[in-house]
Structure 1
Amino acid sequence: MTKQKLNQILKYGPWVEEEGPASFCIIDHCKTCYIDSIYAHKKKFFKTCIYSVFNRYAREWTSREDAEKLLVWLLEKLKKNSSFLKTKDNFFNRIVKQTRVFSNRIQQLNFHALSDAELLKIFKEASDLNKRQYGYSLITESTDLLTERDYIKFLEKASIKETPEIVRILSLPPRRTFFDEFEMRSAELVIALKRKYKNQIPKNFRDISDLKIKAGITRLRNEFYWLDNSFKIAKSLKTNEIYEKIKVKFKDFPLKKILHEKKRLQQKPGVIKFGHRKIHQKYQIPPNAKRLFLLIQYLTALQDRRKELVLRFGSSLGKVLDELSLRTQIPRKELEMYLQEEIVELLTKKTKISKGLIRKRQKTVFVGYYKGRHTAAECFSGKAAEQIFQRLMREREKLPQGQLNGFVASVGKRGRFVIGKVKIIFDPQGRTIGSDEILVTGMTRTEFVGLMKKAKAVITNEGGITTHAAIVSRELGIPCIIGTRYATEILKNGDQIKMDMRTGLIQKNERR
């Protein structure tokens, strides 16, 4: 990439930003995801996508203007053709099915018996499926810029006070998420264990005497081995690890609460449908608003399925890297610093990269761009990466002082104002949070759910009605403000803050 081309790309702002813990190799496989729409949709929705990965923490930059244009395009398509989303969904469902079949097959393979050529084939197939699903599902990014003011314009007959609750109900698709499915199945097993063993659960999976329960846990593992993955972690859960999750529920919750949770999850689709009907009857939602919320429901469900496919990809990639580490004697952590083409070179020509290059890649920036009819990305590391990163950070708006504004994703059940202490957590692994603390992070993912359930409220930098934090907080009734952009930079651990759940204003008081 020429310096002129790079400068041109870096002028595509203002930017929409996302962030979170991530490994170099996972970001390498996603580095062109926004511009891969050229394959799935035959359109260039985004001019570029830029990723920085500094010490296993990633930031993403995409054009704000491109996201706005994408939303307009989707709504226009839906207006002209009411079956537009169904047609697109049929295409994506084929990718979902292919990915599930592929990743499940991978779990059954004896990797030690595979030749290098067979291992390479698996690596390429996993990478290709991941690229295809991202090229299609990136349309979910179109709603990241919507704010409460946008919804008010669509909801003419609702008062401003009622808008957040209407948005909460109408933005939920009438379905269970993959995490809901896991929780429901886990609840069924916990109920069976409590009825069988009362208060003394077997310590280890192998100690379970009830064969039916044992088979149920095995099936759960075979369907959700990918659950703990993220943009940072790529592995496959073992049966005993699934059992450990079940044991936590067994010990922490009484039977009555588990039964209630199972019933809630079973009834969830019907409850959401009823909520939709009630809102439509009460407010006579206009056609343009109906189209907007139909799109949001679809994109919310699409984002959940996309997340599943990303986690499944992580399991497949982890299997390949583990086997490759055994064959080459290269530590797994070093292999995670290889580019895709370098993994291919390692398998075909035994070519290794230097430890110096691995150290340099602790600070990396990927810049995605179009190369003729195809997509490509340039990898900048070390000093060059720092220069690009600093330039992007300098172009941000001046940080607000003393207070923040965001979008109220969930009003919660604590009234208009929520007061509590800040706890900033970027990586949830091994972290805890108190009931009087407010979780502040860049963005949440599945592995944050446990912390979210215990926190007094949630604040994120990332915005968008279809983001994970917005979806989960609405379902659980947790106060949540998203899209603040700078919360993790302005707020400090221990800060006493007040959240206005009507306006999205966050005020910082003196630290205690």
Structure 2
Amino acid sequence: MLDLKNKNLFGIKNPAWWTQAGDGCLLNVYYPAVASSYFLKDYFPTSARVTVCFVINKRFVWAYEAGDMLRISNLLMKQASGNRRYYLKLYQKWQRQIHAYNQLVNKINKLNLSRLSRGRVINLFEEFSKTYLQEYALPLLTDHYHGYSEKTLLPQILKFLKNISNKEKDKIYQILLQPTNPSFIKEAHWSVLKMAARLQQGQNIKSDLAQHTKNYYWLHNNYTCSQYLDENYWLKEVKKYIKKDCLAVLKKERADFKNIKKQKDLYIKKLNLDRQTALGLEILDHFSYWQDQRKQANMIANWIIDQFIRELSKRTKVDYWLLKHLTPAEVALAFKTKKIDQELLRRRLKCSVVVVTPKSIDVLAYPKARQLYQRMFPKTDYSVKVIRGVVANQGKAQGRARVITSSRQFKNFKKGEILVASMTRPDYTVILNKATAIITDEGGLTCHAAIVSRELGIPCIIGTKIATKVLKSGDRIKVDANKGVIKKL
């Protein structure tokens, strides 16, 4: 049991918390939290010493201890240094897990839960929870790799670039950090372009739309809720490109990715990078892709979770949003007994936390959860005019800030504004194409904002820690993503 009176909380002296935040309910965030600290050790030599995830009125705040992230990523690099294929073997192990997961998801999506017996629904949900937790563990190494990439890899790269002119240095730095694999958002975009091109040629795209919908119905889901993007939605997206030269755009964008790979290989050879730095870049590139695949699996899971919770709500007549704050074990029990502590769930909705170590899982509700949050994140004065962060994609921009802390605020975002967020997620796709720059509180070189900003070619500064606390929507700001500096004008 977690002792809130312990002077060294979680047994860590003077912890420095690496956080991220977004829309979320307890049930949805429970899985990655448990996978990170409780399950990772089953497939890797260690787990996170503690993973803490708060949920406050459908918003989550996730926390790792920064020193622990560095410990895990250093261990990963040590293993990979001794065996260059080590990280690929981990990935191959995960591919078997994700295959089993995808098979189960396809099976569930074909079923009508309302027609299944109570026992069948419980067994199916428990099978899903087990498979999802197993699948989720290994890809969380991509989170911990931020520790190594920022503390060790970036300084190593800059050391090799120190005798190169600033203009050339910026170009090389940019190319070395570019992912060589397209994100699922980019692949979905290419699929839309192909359908638009076929429509322009007078071809029937009915079967293409059906397949595309099957592949990407989950694209706007998050840790709070989900929606099914049907064929009508995707047809509207296709028609947006009907007046463009879709084949030319598609050809150019695909060629750009091939060119990135060629340029990256060329500069790694030209700079004569040492083995460790070259390996670090290789893993960074692969982990960008792996993290993207992890997010895809997560967004699909959020849809599956919702199907079970909506079914539970029908059978128990308990509010959907309250049920989203059960734990997986409690969901199974609720299907069995129909007994649900709604007062507890109301307190969890107000403020709850899941605290996971390699040996324990604790879930606290308000007021204890709020006490822990206040202890971990005491109020701070953020009255500064200059904000600094890590450069994820270079460039400069100037304009009005738009602070987005929830998907419910997407409708407020205007084209040409500068997006300021704790961290972007795939459901942010609907506004990212309108942004002239991206600023985040958290994230590393493989985070969503970093990957998408490089694909879009817009300036991006991550890891500012304080941007959403200092800046307000409407503030005029200047972003210098060559130096990692944001200034209020």
TM-score (normalizing by structure 2): 0.92
Distance between the aligned counterparts of 1:149 and 1:340, measured in 2?
A: 38
Alpha-carbon shift at residue 280 of structure 1 (Å) = 2.4
Is 2:464 the partner of 1:484? yes
Mapping 1:368-407, distance limit 5 Å: 368-371=356-359, 376-394=360-378, 399=382, 401-407=384-390
Q: 1:154 aligns with which of 150, 153, 157?
A: 157
1:103 corresponding residue in structure 2: 105
Mapping 1:430-445, distance limit 5 Å: 430-445=410-425
Distance between the aligned counterparts of 1:475 and 1:169, measured in 2?
A: 12
Distance between the aligned counterparts of 2:4 and 2:299, measured in 1?
A: 37
Q: Is the 8 A contact 1:23 1:336 kept in 2?
A: yes
Q: 2:224 aligns with which of 229, 232, 237?
A: 232
1:343 corresponding residue in structure 2: 331
Q: Provide the secondary structure at the position in 2 that maps to 1:122.
A: helix
Q: Provide the secondary structure at the position in 2 that maps to 1:179.
A: helix
Question: What is the percentage of aligned positions where both structures have the same residue?
Answer: 24
Given the superposition, is the C-alpha separation of residues 507 and 151 from structure 1 closer, same or farther in structure 2, using an over 3 Å criterion?
same
Q: 1:423 aligns with which of 402, 424, 431?
A: 402
Alpha-carbon shift at residue 400 of structure 1 (Å) = 6.1
CA RMSD of aligned residues (A): 2.4
Moved more, 316-325 or 88-97: 316-325
Alpha-carbon shift at residue 98 of structure 1 (Å) = 1.2
Alpha-carbon shift at residue 175 of structure 1 (Å) = 2.2
Alpha-carbon shift at residue 64 of structure 1 (Å) = 0.8
Q: Provide the secondary structure at the position in 1 that maps to 2:21.
A: strand
Is 2:394 the partner of 1:408? no
Is 2:179 the partner of 1:179? no
Deviations 1:39-73 (A, max 9, x none): 43343332101111101111111111111112211
Q: Is the 8 A contact 2:390 2:484 kept in 1?
A: yes
Given the superposition, is the C-alpha separation of residues 454 and 253 from structure 1 closer, same or farther in structure 2, using an over 3 Å criterion?
farther
Alpha-carbon shift at residue 180 of structure 1 (Å) = 2.1
2:349 corresponding residue in structure 1: 361
Distance between the aligned counterparts of 1:134 and 1:6, measured in 2?
A: 31
1:299 corresponds to which letter in structure 2?
F
Alpha-carbon shift at residue 92 of structure 1 (Å) = 0.7
Given the superposition, is the C-alpha separation of residues 9 and 134 from structure 1 closer, same or farther in structure 2, using an over 3 Å criterion?
farther
1:245 corresponding residue in structure 2: 234
Alpha-carbon shift at residue 174 of structure 1 (Å) = 2.8
Alpha-carbon shift at residue 167 of structure 1 (Å) = 3.8
Given the superposition, is the C-alpha separation of residues 472 and 265 from structure 1 closer, same or farther in structure 2, using an over 3 Å criterion?
same
Alpha-carbon shift at residue 290 of structure 1 (Å) = 0.4
2:157 corresponds to which letter in structure 1?
F
1:92 corresponds to which letter in structure 2?
W
2:230 corresponds to which letter in structure 1?
T
Given the superposition, is the C-alpha separation of residues 366 and 450 from structure 1 closer, same or farther in structure 2, using an over 3 Å criterion?
same
Distance between the aligned counterparts of 1:255 and 1:38, measured in 2?
A: 46
Q: Is the 8 A contact 1:460 1:487 kept in 2?
A: yes
Mapping 1:453-492, distance limit 5 Å: 453-492=433-472
Distance between the aligned counterparts of 1:461 and 1:4, measured in 2?
A: 27
Q: 1:218 aligns with which of 204, 207, 210?
A: 210
Deviations 1:317-347 (A, max 9, x none): 1221222222222232222122222211111
Q: Provide the secondary structure at the position in 2 that maps to 1:89.
A: helix
Given the superposition, is the C-alpha separation of residues 70 and 152 from structure 1 closer, same or farther in structure 2, using an over 3 Å criterion?
same
2:29 corresponding residue in structure 1: 27
TM-score (normalizing by structure 1): 0.88
Q: 1:254 aligns with which of 233, 243, 252?
A: 243
Distance between the aligned counterparts of 1:50 and 1:102, measured in 2?
A: 28
Q: Is the 8 A contact 2:394 2:482 kept in 1?
A: yes
Deviations 1:109-147 (A, max 9, x none): 122221111111221122112211222111111232444
Q: Is the 8 A contact 1:9 1:48 kept in 2?
A: no
Given the superposition, is the C-alpha separation of residues 360 and 125 from structure 1 closer, same or farther in structure 2, using an over 3 Å criterion?
closer
Mapping 1:161-172, distance limit 5 Å: 161=166, 162-172=168-178
Q: Provide the secondary structure at the position in 1 that maps to 2:358.
A: strand
Q: Is the 8 A contact 2:213 2:234 kept in 1?
A: no
Q: Is the 8 A contact 2:25 2:324 kept in 1?
A: yes
Alpha-carbon shift at residue 269 of structure 1 (Å) = 4.3
Distance between the aligned counterparts of 1:238 and 1:499, measured in 2?
A: 34
Given the superposition, is the C-alpha separation of residues 135 and 248 from structure 1 closer, same or farther in structure 2, using an over 3 Å criterion?
closer
Is 2:47 the partner of 1:64? no
Instruction: Flag structure 1 segments of 5+ consecutive residues without an equivalent.
Output: 197-209
2:460 corresponds to which letter in structure 1?
C
2:77 corresponding residue in structure 1: 75
1:306 corresponding residue in structure 2: 294
Distance between the aligned counterparts of 1:155 and 1:345, measured in 2?
A: 54
Given the superposition, is the C-alpha separation of residues 148 and 56 from structure 1 closer, same or farther in structure 2, using an over 3 Å criterion?
same
1:333 corresponds to which letter in structure 2?
W
2:474 corresponding residue in structure 1: 494
1:358 corresponds to which letter in structure 2?
R
Distance between the aligned counterparts of 1:387 and 1:4, measured in 2?
A: 8
Moved more, 346-355 or 356-365: 356-365
Distance between the aligned counterparts of 2:345 and 2:469, measured in 1?
A: 30
Moved more, 107-116 or 432-441: 432-441
2:194 corresponding residue in structure 1: 188
Distance between the aligned counterparts of 1:434 and 1:160, measured in 2?
A: 37
Q: Provide the secondary structure at the position in 2 that maps to 1:34.
A: helix
Q: Is the 8 A contact 1:55 1:362 kept in 2?
A: yes
Distance between the aligned counterparts of 1:467 and 1:164, measured in 2?
A: 20
Q: Provide the secondary structure at the position in 2 that maps to 1:464.
A: coil
1:205 corresponding residue in structure 2: none
Q: 2:429 aligns with which of 427, 449, 452?
A: 449
Distance between the aligned counterparts of 1:357 and 1:313, measured in 2?
A: 22
Given the superposition, is the C-alpha separation of residues 143 and 420 from structure 1 closer, same or farther in structure 2, using an over 3 Å criterion?
farther
Q: Provide the secondary structure at the position in 2 that maps to 1:431.
A: helix
Alpha-carbon shift at residue 392 of structure 1 (Å) = 0.9
Alpha-carbon shift at residue 169 of structure 1 (Å) = 2.3
Given the superposition, is the C-alpha separation of residues 6 and 213 from structure 1 closer, same or farther in structure 2, using an over 3 Å criterion?
farther
Q: Provide the secondary structure at the position in 1 that maps to 2:464.
A: coil
Distance between the aligned counterparts of 1:5 and 1:123, measured in 2?
A: 37
User: What is the aligned length?
Assistant: 482
Alpha-carbon shift at residue 452 of structure 1 (Å) = 1.7
Alpha-carbon shift at residue 238 of structure 1 (Å) = 5.1
1:199 corresponding residue in structure 2: none
Distance between the aligned counterparts of 1:149 and 1:67, measured in 2?
A: 13
Q: Is the 8 A contact 1:410 1:470 kept in 2?
A: yes
Deviations 1:396-416 (A, max 9, x none): 7x646221110111113xxxx
